[in-house]
Amino acid sequence: MKKIIVVGGGIGGAATALALSQSGLEPAVYERTSALREVGAGIALWANATHILKQLGLLEAAIQVGCLTTNYQFNSQRGKLLVNIPLDTSEFPVVGIHRAALHQLLWHPVSSGTLHLGETFERFEPQQNQVEAHFASGLTVTGDALIGADGLRSRVRSALFGEKLPVYRNFKTWRGLTEWVPTSYQPGYIQEFLGAGKGFGFMMLGQGKLYWYAAAMAPEAQPDLAVGRKQELTTMYQDWFSAIPELIAATDEANILTTDLYDRPPTQPWSQGNVTLLGDAAHPMLPTMGQGACTALEDAYVVAQCLKEHPDPIAAFQHYEALRFPRTKAIVEQSLRSSKMGELRNPWAIGVRNALMKTMGSAISQSFRSLHAYRA
């Protein structure tokens, strides 16, 4: 049985471990943190990703712990409807889910000896037909191939292609979780509100949790204001649609996360011999299309299929990259383009954007539909 070293045990690494073991391969995952954890936030799994969960045997369980999502709605900052996209037209559902719940679902079926916590990957060395991975603890392991699923600042990526920083895209995000649901909330909806250089959105995740997210233009690594995150957001969104300040007020300061947004312009190769990249390590993208984790799930399934099909990992990784690069390149670029719409600040330009969105509703729906119709 081929042994595949996976660096990183996030959503991409977990899905890879599961897909590899279901394909008759032996994954060994090395994660730098000493306990498995995911940030306290939600995620939308679109039909392209719930299709993968179905292949992995996890769709029913995800629906049970998550929330079925039927509509994606865009509004002006005051709540005037711009576009309403029905999502229940595909054979696979859209599920809102807590990240930790998804992470646990993915890890649950994987045998416990697969995951090695507290191991920080440093470098690899090719060894004839194998590869040797070296960790900060002094551990050295040998496998038939190595997959870097180690995120935005992937060490495997820099070991392969040299140090190159991701690109900051001028937006900072805040994410929060609360059990309070606005009276105006329409069950099953993702509701987004677009303003000048900032936006806000919310959706249900299941188990009574409501997940909200805000994004605003900001310089890189801008520190929190002295008043705290909650007060800063309260001021930023005070005159927006009433559910937004209410949601901020209902959230504990400790449950508000901030993250700066980065991506990398898509470039090839991802692979060198029997070493490749997956998820954010391969194609970090802005979250505007909500596809980072969804495409990591697609990658995981496809890389396992390729390794099953090709006895030689080098050929398998070439095939994997050929299948995955065009798809993810298009989404990285689409995510960046869509962030540009959020950069508009001039009231006239915002009026034009909102009017255009209203008239182009069916084209926007069609574009989302074709993104989600992809079946890896």
Ligand X SMILES: Cc1cc2nc3c(=O)[nH]c(=O)nc-3n(C[C@H](O)[C@H](O)[C@H](O)COP(=O)(O)OP(=O)(O)OC[C@H]3O[C@@H](n4cnc5c(N)ncnc54)[C@H](O)[C@@H]3O)c2cc1C
The contact set with ligand X (CB under 6 A) reads 7-13, 30-33, 43-44, 120-121, 149-152, 155, 173, 175, 259, 279-281, 287, 290-294, 296
Nearer to ligand X, 32 or 369 (CB): 32
Nearest approach, Cβ of residue 283 and ligand X (Å): 9
Nearer to ligand X, 232 or 280 (CB): 280
Nearer to ligand X, 290 or 313 (CB): 290
Nearest approach, Cβ of residue 135 and ligand X (Å): 7
Nearest approach, Cβ of residue 366 and ligand X (Å): 20
Nearest approach, Cβ of residue 6 and ligand X (Å): 9
Nearer to ligand X, 172 or 319 (CB): 172
Nearest approach, Cβ of residue 355 and ligand X (Å): 27
Nearest approach, Cβ of residue 352 and ligand X (Å): 27
Nearer to ligand X, 33 or 207 (CB): 33
Three-state secondary structure of the chain: CCEEEEECCCHHHHHHHHHHHHCCCEEEEEECCCCCCCCCCEEEECHHHHHHHHHCCCHHHHHHHCEEECEEEEEECCCCEEEEEECCCCCCCEEEEEHHHHHHHHHCCCCHHHEEECCCEEEEEEECCEEEEEECCCCEEEECEEEECCCCCCHHHHHHHCCCCCEEEEEEEEEEEECCCCCCCCCCEEEEEECCCEEEEEEEEECCEEEEEEEEECCCCCCCCCCCHHHHHHHHCCCCCCHHHHHHHCCCHHHEEEEEEEECCCCCCCCECCEEECHHHCCCCCHHHCCHHHHHHHHHHHHHHHHHHCCCHHHHHHHHHHHHHHHHHHHHHHHHHHHHHHCCCCHHHHHHHHHHHHHCHHHHHHHHHHHHCCCC
Nearer to ligand X, 197 or 315 (CB): 197
